[in-house]
């Protein structure tokens, strides 16, 4: 079996059968990680640029792929794919959702620390230009996970996360591939213009929430 010729969804299937064939599962896991680690890394990096310092990118990436091996592969549901690229996009989105959950858990577990937020459309020249997190007045900090639960709908959170996955720190822009954008718009029943409007509103909501927390309101 040439592991490099196996489709991404089939790799996940092999990982899910780790009890029956641990060697094949281990090989499939390594190959899946090799194919997607850069995508997940940049997605988490983009999300960290949204919520500020204090997030260990490498740790989130490793926890994502550990979760795939330990549990998530067993719940994966393959789709109907036109080709291997179509399968890879589906698996990438599935991995992105796992990474998002790991990120939210990491933010929540940090305790009550204010996280600086800024619009990725106006990113500083370098990380050294970014404001360090500050302690909130009265310890009333809300983290991204809490903001998502209280002021963002699940659809809006998906929009923000997808944008962050394709954030480019060099250009300060987030360019979602057209097929990914078409897919989420179809899933949510919205136009591309509505997608952009909801993304901007979601960022503004997060920014405002953290500003209010910092000011103790």
pLDDT tens digits for range 68-123: 999 999 999 998 999 999 999 999 989 988 988 888 777 766 543 433 333 333 33
CA distances (Å), 124 to each of 49, 64, 85, 119, 180, in order? 10, 28, 34, 10, 27
pTM higher than 0.95: no
Quick: pLDDT tens for 7-58. 999 999 999 999 999 999 999 999 999 999 998 988 888 776 665 556 788 8
User: Are the CB atoms for 213 and 142 separated by under 8 Å?
Assistant: yes
Length of the chain: 217
Is the model's pLDDT at 138 over the cut of 50?
no
pLDDT for 125: 34
Report how far residue 209's alpha carbon sits from residue 217's, in angstroms, rounded to the nearest whole number.
9
């Amino acid at each position: 079996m040439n592991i490099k010729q196996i489709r991404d969804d089939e790799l996940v299937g092999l990982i899910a059968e780790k009890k029956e064939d641990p060697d094949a599962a281990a090989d499939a896991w390594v190959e899946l990680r090799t194919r997607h680690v850069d995508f997940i890394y940049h997605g988490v990096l983009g999300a960290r640029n949204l919520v500020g310092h204090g997030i260990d990118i490498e740790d989130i990436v490793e926890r994502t792929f550990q979760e795939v091996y330990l549990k998530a592969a067993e719940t994966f549901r393959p789709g109907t794919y036109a080709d291997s690229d179509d399968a890879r996009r589906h698996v990438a989105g599935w991995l992105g959702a796992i990474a998002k959950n790991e990120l939210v858990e990491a933010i929540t577990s940090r305790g009550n620390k204010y996280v600086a937020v800024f619009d990725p459309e106006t990113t500083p020249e370098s990380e050294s230009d970014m404001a360090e997190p500050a302690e909130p007045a009265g310890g009333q900090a809300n983290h991204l996970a809490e903001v998502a639960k209280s002021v963002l709908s699940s659809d809006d959170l998906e929009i923000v996360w997808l944008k962050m996955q394709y954030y480019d720190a060099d250009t300060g822009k987030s360019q979602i591939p057209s097929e990914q954008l078409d897919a989420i718009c179809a899933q949510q029943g919205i136009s591309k213009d509505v997608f952009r409007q909801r993304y901007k509103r979601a960022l503004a909501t997060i920014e405002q929430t953290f500003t209010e927390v910092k000011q103790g309101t």
